[in-house]
Structure 1
Amino acid sequence: MNNKITAIIVSNQSYKEKDALIRMISEEGEVLSMIAKGANAPTSKYSAYLQPFNVCEIDYHHKDPLSVFISASLRQRCEFQDFHTLAAASFLLQSMEAINRMEPQTFPLWTCVQYLHILEKSMVSGLLKFCFDLFEKDGRQLVVDECVNCGSLQVSGFSLSAGGFCCKSCSVHERVDITDIDVLRALRCVSKAPLELTYKCTTSALSISVVKLFVYELKDSYPLAMKSWKFMDELV
């Protein structure tokens, strides 16, 4: 049975000589894998289309256990000039794919695309927004308006274990992860900004080390692409 789907390519791996194993996320957030025969041959007209981050309209033959690619047309090309951003995009998209496998439709195609566009403008802010999104989906809404314990508006730190901002008094009883006031402002901004405006929350004080705190706090709750994360973290 032949089918048509619009999807973003997550990965393209060699499979039996010049064939490719393609993994992708559909408009609805469904994860699909299929064999594209001859797609990695130098003469293949689809080789350039079936690359990670590209959005394609794909015709395929549904078959168990793996569907078979027939043809594709390119809907949107996404290329990253900066190698660090490329690594971040790979971590993000592979994590979204893994989460969609666990919880179908969590990250549909155009949400994935929007996140990738944000990474181009501000890599750290985009990754932090993803982490805040995961905390919310996990039922752990981080408190960034007041002290998570007493409600004081005079905050001095941020504690992941406590679940948000802490005032000076409450910080004594919590493991405080962040105290830099510029970073605290940026975290509040990232939490409240719509996804498309997240890039405006960036600051020189906001670094990948801040994102690392969130990623390691989330890795036991979600199937994040930790191998890709460690590679990206070593690059930055």
Structure 2
Amino acid sequence: MRTTTNSEITKGIVLKTMPYKENDQLVTLYTYEFGKLTIRARGSRKLTSKNAPALMSITEGEYEIALKSGLSNLIRATAIQYYQNIKKTIEAEIVADYLLEYFYRYESENSPSLEHYQFLEGILEALEIGYDYRIIYAYINCFIMKENGVELMTDGCVVCGNHHVDGFSIENGGFVCHEHYHLHDLRLPKDQLQAIRYLYKCPISRLHELHLEDIKPIQKIFEYYVDEFCGVNLRSRKFVKSIL
């Protein structure tokens, strides 16, 4: 963090903007140093505003902020990354909005996390360079599950630990082998079982290694856990559904 007189300078990603009074905006950022933070951007709705370009949704920038109790004020904003390719591709933009909404609605104020910032930044970069948006969506749901305490057993059979698995048990939360497979479990091909483990385990830097034609069964599994066990309800989900 760099300090100037009466202000702080931080890197951040715009999560949401809302009109405020005649020419101002309320801008919610996820910042590197302060976590989620809502600030007032005076005059940023004017056509002559120099700060306006760095306050658009799906934008990373450097923000100088006059921090105070209550609503802090923006002093200066400079864009670092506009993510133009995301904004040119409707599917990528919808998936990006899904993640931004999660951070906006479910991240705590003023609780910085370097891991969370890097995840948000990494997902946007992956979408920007053209990673499969369907895989990114599944990966985001893995993140939401883990953040809300949903741990899947993907190292072997959830019952006996056998590494030779044939399906996935929704009820038991993990892989099952032939011996412990039941009719209500999901029998999945080997590539989809491997993909579930990969999505749940791999760092974002290796996400480009996963290529899968039919990811819908995996998406449905992750969506089930997000809906039933995470208490997360995102309005943008209906837009994601329209592109899958």
What is the TM-score with the length of structure 1 in the denominator?
0.86
Task: Give the drift of 1:164.
Answer: 1.1
Contact kept, 8 Å, 1:61 with 1:67, in 2: the verdict is yes
Q: Which runs of 5+ in 2 are unaligned?
A: 1-5
Instruction: Tell me the residue number matched to 2:92.
Output: 85
- DSSP 3-state at the match of 1:104: coil
Amino acid in structure 2 at the alignment position of 1:116: L
Instruction: Tell me the residue number matched to 1:99.
Output: 106
Instruction: Tell me the residue number matched to 1:123.
Output: 133
The whole-number CA distance in structure 1 between the counterparts of 2:165 and 2:116 is 36
Instruction: Tell me the residue number matched to 2:197.
Output: 188
What are the Cα deviations for residues 52-89 of structure 1, in whole angstroms up to 9, with x where unaligned?
Answer: 22111111222443211111112222231210110110
Contact kept, 8 Å, 2:26 with 2:38, in 1: the verdict is yes
Q: Pick closer, same or farther for the CA change 1:90–1:143 going to 2, 3 Å.
A: same
The whole-number CA distance in structure 1 between the counterparts of 2:94 and 2:48 is 28
1:62 to 62, 67, 84: 67
2:172 to 135, 138, 162: 162
The whole-number CA distance in structure 1 between the counterparts of 2:11 and 2:154 is 37
What are the Cα deviations for residues 121-161 of structure 1, in whole angstroms up to 9, with x where unaligned?
Answer: 12222232233334444444322232111222332211233
- DSSP 3-state at the match of 1:49: helix
Percent identity for Structure 1 against Structure 2: 23
Q: Which moved more, 1:59-68 or 1:192-201?
A: 59-68
Instruction: Tell me the residue number matched to 1:40.
Output: 45
Q: Pick closer, same or farther for the CA change 1:73–1:204 going to 2, 3 Å.
A: same
- DSSP 3-state at the match of 2:179: helix
Contact kept, 8 Å, 1:95 with 1:223, in 2: the verdict is no
- DSSP 3-state at the match of 1:93: helix
The whole-number CA distance in structure 1 between the counterparts of 2:194 and 2:116 is 30
Task: Give the drift of 1:97.
Answer: 3.5
What are the Cα deviations for residues 87-128 of structure 1, in whole angstroms up to 9, with x where unaligned?
Answer: 110111221333321793455323211022223412222232
Contact kept, 8 Å, 1:27 with 1:108, in 2: the verdict is no
- DSSP 3-state at the match of 1:41: coil
The count of corresponding residues between Structure 1 and Structure 2 is: 234
2:241 to 229, 233, 236: 233
Instruction: Tell me the residue number matched to 1:201.
Output: 210
C-alpha RMSD over aligned residues: 2.5
- DSSP 3-state at the match of 1:4: strand
Q: Pick closer, same or farther for the CA change 1:128–1:28 going to 2, 3 Å.
A: farther
Q: Which moved more, 1:3-12 or 1:220-229?
A: 220-229
Amino acid in structure 1 at the alignment position of 2:218: V
Contact kept, 8 Å, 1:29 with 1:108, in 2: the verdict is no
